[in-house]
Every structure is written in structure tokens, then in C-alpha cells.
Amino acid sequence: MKRNDRSDFYWRKSTYSGPTGGDCVELAGAPSMVAIRDSKNPELPHLTFGRVAFSRLVRKIRSGQHDL
């Protein structure tokens, strides 16, 4: 994926993000992958995951497994 491709994404901020910002991430979905970026530094590179890998990551985080 090229760095400039992310401008085509529709980024959504986490629902856990408060009105003052805080430490939060933004997600953008596409048919075969999910992209994640730092909402305070959107110009920096983002991470991309296949949908299955992203689902596994979320399950591990929710279960409290920090040895990702």
C-alpha cells in the first residue's frame, strides 16, 4: 500500500475517545483489511491488518492478553 493511499480511507475515531481527544486511534475499513492510525498524528504512517488478523488482535486485547 502506498503512503498516499490512506487519504482514500474513511477514518473513524474510537468511541472511547472523549471530547478532549486523549490517547485514541482511528480505524478505516476496506473489504480485505483494516487500517489503524494515531488520531493525534494522522500524517504519520498507519498499520494495516487483514480482517482475520485484526479480529484476532481485538480478541487478545479484550481478553487481557498483553503478550501479543
Q: Are 1 and 47 in contact (CB under 8 A)?
A: no
The pLDDT profile of the chain, 68 residues, written as one tens digit per residue, is 444 455 578 899 877 766 666 678 889 988 899 999 988 888 899 999 999 999 998 899 889 876 65
- 3-state secondary structure at position 41: coil
pLDDT of residue 24: 81
pLDDT of residue 1: 40
Q: Check: pTM over 0.75? Answer yes or no.
A: no
Domain ranges of the chain: 3-63
Q: Are 51 and 35 in contact (CB under 8 A)?
A: no
Sign of CA dihedral 2, 3, 4, 10: positive
